[in-house]
Amino acid sequence: MGAPTNLPPEQRRTLGLGELLFGGKPVLGGQAPLRMRPRAKGTLLYLLPVPLLIAALVGLGAGRLEVALIAGGLFGLFMLGADLTRRGLKAEVADQTLRFARLRPAPLKTLGGLLIGLATGLMASWVVVLGLGLSLAYAGVAMLGFHFVYGFESWGRQRVVASDDERTRKIVAALAEAERQLLDLEQAAARIANRELKQRLARIGVQGRAILDQIAERPTDLFRARKFLNVYLDGVKQVADGYARTHRLADSRELEQNFRNVLITVEQAFEEQHQRLLKTDLMDLDVQIEVLKKQLEREGVR
Amino acid sequence: MTQLDHRAPKPPVRPPFGVRLLGVVLLAFSIGLLSCQALWSI
């Protein structure tokens, strides 16, 4: 996962929900696809407890129900821990690729590691019938091994921007909220069957990210883009979500056409917004060049 | 106001190969060994 973080900010992009969920690698805006695979997948955690499953089946075959239940239950606990770890590893990669928002709601890897430790301790105590001390030692060894291979998550949320400035924090919060809305928009798009409407929503997502990037490059643009952030983005997200929920229930051509018209308008509005921000930046640069020129002329420097 | 330094945080440092190998050995020793013992003890 070294590549994305080595890129300069202007070459980085946000991650689509489709990529987050399915690990796809669409190429947007001519940018090279990012490497989305986590460095480890947790396969070992699925494989190591397999003898426990066999033990459960053998116990069942031998008519020893309590053995089958305990071994099967512990195997389930191991699988739950492995699954949480796998999801935590994926979320970790996805989270690092986002630019403003943070998605990780719970320390999944840590929960997975704790479950693996608990299951190991219980297995040592209940199935292999070791003493309390030895069982705890085995649980500790398993958790240490887990930490060496997968690592526990650090407590507390990582900050997106290393600044205590109130204004900067407000801007980052606004950008993070907008990024979340874009993710919601893509989630709604994934539930819509019509390919053309999906593509329109995808284009709106790309345009939206370009505007967010523009604001990040030049935070004073936040004021100029407030209508985009507060009205258009929220509006299109709500409409897309509503359409995604209802279009399967009521197959209405009129509804589809209305939705299409809204998307076309939003696409135009987003494009205009982006161009307006770029134009303002150019005008500001022109003014700065002119001021510098005048100053140099006044001081007799040519 | 200057451009936001909005770079994503660095990915967690990948432990050296030796440490990861030790981790695999510890996991195999604890989970693998115990689950095999559980199978033989039936």
Top pLDDT among B19 and A166 is at B19
What count of Cα atoms within 13 Å lies in the side-chain half-sphere of residue A251? 2
Q: Delimit the domains of chain A by residue range.
A: 2-149, 166-298
Contact of A148 with chain B, judged by CB distance below 8 Å, is answered with yes
Contact of A138 with chain B, judged by CB distance below 8 Å, is answered with yes
Q: Over the stretch A112-136, which tens digit does the pLDDT of each residue have?
A: 999 999 999 999 999 888 999 999 9
Per-residue pLDDT for A29 more than 50?
no
Give the pLDDT confidence score for residue A82 in this predicted structure: 96
The least confident of A3-17, A93-107, A174-188, A273-287 is A3-17
The least confident of A249-253, A289-293, B32-36 is A249-253
Contact B4 A172 (CB under 8 A): yes
Quote the CA–CA distance of A107 and A99 in Å, as a whole number: 20
Q: Which two tokens stand for residue A249?
A: 């229930």
Give the pLDDT confidence score for residue A155 in this predicted structure: 64
Burial of A103 (0-12, 13-18, 19+ CB in 10 A): middle
* Mean pLDDT in residue range A176-202: 87
Q: Over the stretch A1-25, which tens digit does the pLDDT of each residue have?
A: 333 444 444 444 444 444 443 344 4
pLDDT band (50, 70, 90) for residue A148: very high
Q: Please give the DSSP secondary-structure letter assigned to residue A9.
A: G
Top pLDDT among A46 and A153 is at A46
Contact A123 B22 (CB under 8 A): no
Distance in Å, alpha carbon of B9 to nearest chain A alpha carbon: 6
Say which residue the tokens 């003898």 belong to.
A51
Q: Calculate helix-pair angle for A233-246, A253-298, nearest 10 degrees.
A: 160
Angle at A95 between CA A89 and CA A99, to 5 degrees: 160
Which chain B residue has the Cα nearest residue A163?
B5
User: Could you give the percent of chain A with pLDDT greater than 70?
Assistant: 80
Give the pLDDT confidence score for residue A177 in this predicted structure: 84
Q: Assign residue A29 a region: left if phi > 0, alpha if psi is -120 to 50, beta otherwise?
A: left
User: Could you give the percent of chain A with pLDDT greater than 90?
Assistant: 28
Looking at this protein, which amino acid is placed at residue A197?
A: L
Pick the CATH number of A166-298 from 3.30.310, 1.20.5, 3.20.20, 1.10.10: 1.20.5
Top pLDDT among A255 and A18 is at A255
Give the pLDDT confidence score for residue A158 in this predicted structure: 54
Q: Over the stretch A54-76, which tens digit does the pLDDT of each residue have?
A: 999 999 999 999 999 999 999 99
Distance in Å, alpha carbon of B37 to nearest chain A alpha carbon: 7
Say which residue the tokens 């998605």 belong to.
A103
Q: Which of A1, A5, A30 is nearest to A206 (CA)?
A: A30
A55 → closest Cβ in B8, B9, B38: B38
Quote the CA–CA distance of A211 and A217 in Å, as a whole number: 10
Q: Which two tokens stand for residue A141?
A: 């060894």
Give the pLDDT confidence score for residue A102 in this predicted structure: 66
Give the pLDDT confidence score for residue A143 in this predicted structure: 96
Give the dihedral of Cα atoms A102, A220, A273, A225; nearest 10 deg: 60
Average confidence score pLDDT of chain A:
80
B3 → closest Cβ in A162, A167, A218: A218
Looking at this protein, which amino acid is placed at residue A118?
A: L
Q: Compute CA distances A161 → A87, A105, A166, A223, whole Å.
A: 25, 19, 12, 19
Give the pLDDT confidence score for residue A276 in this predicted structure: 84
Which chain A residue has the Cα nearest residue B16?
A148
Give the pLDDT confidence score for residue B32 in this predicted structure: 95
**Contact by Cβ (8 Å): A136, A143:** no
